[in-house]
Every structure is written in structure tokens, then in C-alpha cells.
Structure 1
Amino acid sequence: MKVDLHSHTLVSDGHLSPKELVARAIENDVDILSITDHDSTGAYVELGDLNAYSIKLIPGIELSTQWRGIGVHIVGLNIDLDNEVIQAGVKRQAVSRAERAELIAKRLIKLGLSVDLVRVKAIAGGVNIGRPHFAQHLVEIGAVKDFAMAFKKYLGNGKAGDVKQCWAALPDIVGWITASGGTAVLAHPLKYKMTRTKLSALLDEFSAVGGQAMEVVSGVQTNDVTGQMGALCKEKNLLASCGSDFHQPSQWSEIGRMSALPKQCEPVWATWL
């Protein structure tokens, strides 16, 4: 069974529409899919009846928060899309993203860049503004040659455009997910580049506030990495999730393309399938 529980569409920073993503997942023989757009469940509005597709669709979201000054992402899986608590949280995150966009623009302008927030909003096309939209704008105005350089110079971790203080606290984020009947999952743990001691502390606090799972597999990774993450997951008594973190087709990323979960881990979907 091929399971992909982390993917993105045009509703956030992906390049495919929700229906295009589902069609691609079906073409790639994915059996179970969750669309986890950043701070939005809008993809599911476009999809309509989730039972109308020849693939099992698990309602999901990827929520932004911070822990000890570090931006982290929490995936909510198998959430109730109509739950008032999580939808209120989504609205709060939308306000936070708008405030964050203004702060990012001000910081970049202070560096002497001719950033136009109106243009960034146009690039976003009515969805929540994220750093990739600023990256596209920086390429447009000739400030950088490509997305990678935009993040390396201006938008990546620790750079001027890396604004984290707007997000709701970790206990709130996890609370929204659990209130909706969902499972809170720490997304791509290695992406935060923490020491093993710090990651262990994050997982302990995450568990203490109701977190139930971690992504043991995020895209294609080495067997050593998978083994280490699997051992950590088991040590922390968490359920294991996996996802491609798909944004757009490329030689490095494809929906449904990821390493297998270690056999010693209990899959997160075992609790709700």
C-alpha cells in the first residue's frame, strides 16, 4: 500500500490544483493521500465529496508554529473539516500570515530592495502569502537569479525575511488539531537542523501537549536516516507518518515517491483506517 500524507497544492505553495494533484496521485498508484496545505483547508472545498475519488483522501493541514524561537510545522491528519475550533484556528493563521507578509516586506525594503507587497499578493493569487511568493517577486525584480538564491540571501532561516513571531503557540496548534478529532504530527523533523538533544526536547514537549506522531519518512532519504528516525519515533512512543512533501513535479520530488516506513514503527493510519 502506497501512502502519502504530506503534499501541497496551489492553495498554498504547491504548483498543481487540488484536482490535478489527486489525479497525479492516482496515476502514481497512491492508495491513501492527504493534502496538507500550509494553514489552509481550501483544497478540500474544491475537491467536494472526498468519497467520489478512486483514492482514499484523508483531510489534512500543515500548521505553522514556533518552538524556542525556531519555526516548526505540525501536520494535522484525519481532521474534521467542519470543526469550529480548527476553522477558527485557520482564520487566525490567515491573519498571522497577512501580518507576517507586511513584516517581511518592510524588512526587505529596509535592505534596499524594491519590494511591492501588492505585487506579492497578486502572485499569491488570493491564497495565504508565503515566502515562496516573495521569492518569485525577488526573481521578477532582478534582486536574485532564482528561488534558491532568494532563500539563501533573504528568506531562509535566520535571514531578514524569516519572520516567525506571528504564529500561534505549539500547544494551541496541537489543541486545534485534536479538538477536530485529528492526529497531530511533527513534520519533517530533520528540516529544522536541530541537534539530537534539542530535537528530543521538542518531541518531549510536543508529546506533552498532545502530539501523537512524527514524520519518520519525508521524501526520499537514506536507509540510515530512516532507521535513526524510526528508532527515535519508537523511543518517544509516537506513531509514524510518511509523506513526499510534494510541491511540484521535479527530478527530486514526486507525489508518492518516498522511502518505506521501518517495520518496527506503528503507522499513524493504523488508528483511523
Structure 2
Amino acid sequence: MPLRPADLNPLTNADLHCHSSVSDGTLAPEVVAARAAAQGVQLWALTDHDEVGGVARARAAALAAGMAFLSGVEISVSFAGKVVHIVGLGFDETDPQLLQGLQTTRGGREQRAREMAAQLAQVGIHGAFEGALQHVGNPDLISRTHFARFLVENGHCRDVPEVFRRFLTPGKPGYVEHRWAALADALRWIHEAGGLAVIAHPARYGFTPNEEWGLINDFIAHGGRAVEVVTGSHSDLDALRWTEQALEFGLLASRGSDFHSPEESRTELGSLPALSGRLQPVWMALQARIDFPPIKPQ
């Protein structure tokens, strides 16, 4: 049975973080929607990187498959010298300020990609830019993941994690810094478009305790309200720790697989454990922004 507004509850199988070929996933939005529905997802959001071009397609496919839907995006921001991801949920994806902000954030990716390819050529890996482009669904969003797929395909590494360890992280050949959005700007775009902001996979950044405290407090100061607690990037211990952090800072809790590809993702859509009963799920605060599938006549 499709999810109805009255059925929404803390145990709803919500997957509010995943990607399609519109950014760095390998499947089209419609295919990701079908896969999510087949995995028992009841409430779904597509959160492509710095891009909302797949949201309308994802919404139509989700509703046709009987899933409730939230608009989504994952915005890259700079904080304390690192890239942090902020998920936006439940916004108007046609908002002009949001679209302009995302376009600005995407800008410069091609030049960055060419610089990455030049560095890789210096260590004997040639044709990386053209090779990465073969894996790109949206050329405006060419990323390290696309380079990683090229390097695996051509036998330079066994898998994507090895590529990142050897080539695409700070200090390694192939890593080029990109100027991302400011935290305050990303939250403003999300909020003024009617959405709610979430810190994505917070255990992944390797911040010191002081940096982590600074991120959370800056996030809250600019209107941020939620954090991903259960995610494909977190271990069970990470989820326990961020349950306590969410409670301490009064943040809503989110849940998402961070699914990119059947071959690459370690967590399947909809397969995560439930949030702790002590937490307030972010989707309960977004009920007015959820699109529910139509009721079919009997």
C-alpha cells in the first residue's frame, strides 16, 4: 500500500540521500526510483550533487511507483579547510536563487578536471580527462568519482576506494582543490527555497573535536536543523555517537543510504537500520513538504 500522510511515523522506511547519473551516480533517476521502491522504500529523496535537474523526473517516477517523495540536493561547502556536504530537503527546486547558487557552485569543475588530468599524466596516466568524460551523465558535474571509474576500468587500481587512496585525496597526484560554496550561502539557498538543511554523514570528515563543535554551531546559527545519523557512510558506532550528538544539540535526525551504484555502493537503498526511538526524524518535521502518491480508485 502506498504511504499516506496519516501513516508517516518514525519507523517509516525513508531513504533521503542517494544519487543518479545526473551527478555521480550510474543509474538514471527513474531507475533509482524503481530500485528504491523494489527495496521497500516508502519515502524517498534524490540528492544529486549541486544539481536539481533530476528532481522532477525522480518525483514523477517515485509517485508512479507508490513512494512518497521529498525534493533533495547535496551541496558541497568549504569548512575548516575541508569539503562538507549539506543535504537540502523539501524545497522548491525551481527557486531562482537556489538554481543560481548551484550553478555557481558547479562552475569551474571542467577546469579543475583538466588540472586533475594533467597531474595524472605526470605520473604516467594519460587520457584521464577524456576517459572520465565517458562516465559523466552531466558534463557540468565531472568529479573525482568519474576519474576513479576511468582508473578502475583501465586497470590502474582494483576499485574506487583504492583510486581515492592513491590519487584523488589531498597530497596525492590527481587531487585539485575546488572552491565550494560557503556554509552560510548553502543554508540560505535551501531555507529561502522553503527547505530544511541536514549535515550529511558527519563522521566522515575527520574533524577534530573543536572543528566538529564549530561546524555544528555554525550550522545551527545559520538555521540548520538536522543531521544524518544512520547513513551508508557510518559504522554502528558512528550512528550511536551521532545519536547522542543530535540529542545534545537538539537536531532532527535523518537517514539515507548515500547510494551511487549497484557495483560501488556498500549500502543498498532502503536497507539501513531504523533511527533510535529517542530521536525526532527529519521527515516528521517535513510532512507539509512531502509529495504523496495519488489514491487510486478502487
Query: Could you state the TM-score of these two structures normalised by the residue count of structure 1?
Result: 0.91
Deviations 1:26-67 (A, max 9, x none): 111111001101111122243464644410111100111110
- Which residue of structure 2 aligns with residue 123 of structure 1? 135
1:229 aligned onto 2:242: yes
Indicate the residue corresponding to 1:265 in structure 2. 279
Given candidates 6, 19, 22, the residue that maps to 1:8 is 19
CA displacement 1:224-270 (0-9 Å, x = unmatched): 43221111011112111111111123583200011221122111111
Q: 1:2-42 CA distances to partner (integer Å, 9 max, x unpaired)?
A: 01100111112212211111111111111100110111112
SS at the partner of 1:64?
Answer: strand
C-alpha distance in structure 1 between counterparts of 2:58 and 2:273, whole Å: 28
Distance 1:160 1:171, change over 3 A: farther
Q: How does 1:94-173 map to 2 (within 5 A)?
A: 94-127=106-139, 128-173=141-186
Equivalents in 1 of 2:114, 2:183: separation in Å? 23
Unaligned runs of 5+ in 1: none
Counterpart in the other structure of 2:105: 93
Unaligned runs of 5+ in 2: 1-11, 288-298
Q: Tell me how far apart the structure 1 counterparts of residues 84 and 26 of structure 2 sit (CA, whole Å).
A: 22
8 Å contact from structure 1 (residues 212, 239) kept in 2: yes
Contact between 2:59 and 2:69, CA under 8 Å: does it hold in 1? no
Matched AA of 2:125: L
C-alpha separation in 2, matches of 1:233 and 1:54:
31
Q: 1:98 & 1:89 partners in 2: Cα distance?
A: 17
Q: 118-127 vs 189-198, which deviates more? A: 118-127
CA contact (8 A) 1:219 1:259 kept: no
Deviates more, 1:88-97 or 1:244-253: 244-253
Q: Does structure 2 conserve the Cα–Cα contact (< 8 Å) formed by 1:115 and 1:137?
A: no
SS at match of 1:156: coil
Q: Distance in 2 between matches of 1:158 and 1:216?
A: 30
Mapped to 2, the partners of 1:252 and 1:122 lie a distance apart of 23
- Counterparts in 2 of 1:26 and 1:201: CA distance versus 1, 3 Å: same
- Identify which of structures 1 and 2 has the higher relative contact order when contacts are C-alpha pairs closer than 8 Å and 6+ apart: 2
* Letter in structure 2 aligned against 1:83: D
Contact 1:10 1:16 in 2 (8 A): yes
C-alpha deviations, 1:156-210, integer Å up to 9, x for none? Answer: 3543433333212111111111111111111000111223332122111111122
Distance 1:178 1:44, change over 3 A: same
C-alpha separation between the residues in 1 aligned to 2:110 and 2:43? Answer: 32
Q: Specify the code of the residue in structure 1 equivalent to 2:162.
A: M
Q: Name the amino acid aligned to 1:15.
A: T
DSSP 3-state at the match of 1:194 = coil
- Equivalent of 1:78, from 78, 90, 114? 90
Which residue of 4, 13, 17 corresponds with 2:28?
17
Distance in 1 between the 2:150 and 2:239 partners? 36
Aligned identity (percent) is 36
Matched, 1:249 2:274: no
Task: Quote the Cα distance in structure 2 between the aligned partners of 1:96 and 1:13.
Answer: 16
Relative to structure 1, the CA distance from residue 159 to residue 206 in structure 2 (aligned partners, 3 Å threshold; closer, same or farther) is farther
SS at match of 2:204: helix
Instruction: Report how far residue 105 of structure 1 moved.
Output: 2.2
Measure, in 1, the Cα distance between the counterparts of 2:75 and 2:165: 23
Q: Is the 8 A contact 1:30 1:256 kept in 2?
A: yes
Query: Offset of 1:142 from its aligned partner?
Result: 4.2
In structure 1, C-alpha distance between the alignment counterparts of 2:233 and 2:85, rounded to whole Å: 19
User: For this pair of structures, how many residues does the alignment match?
Assistant: 273
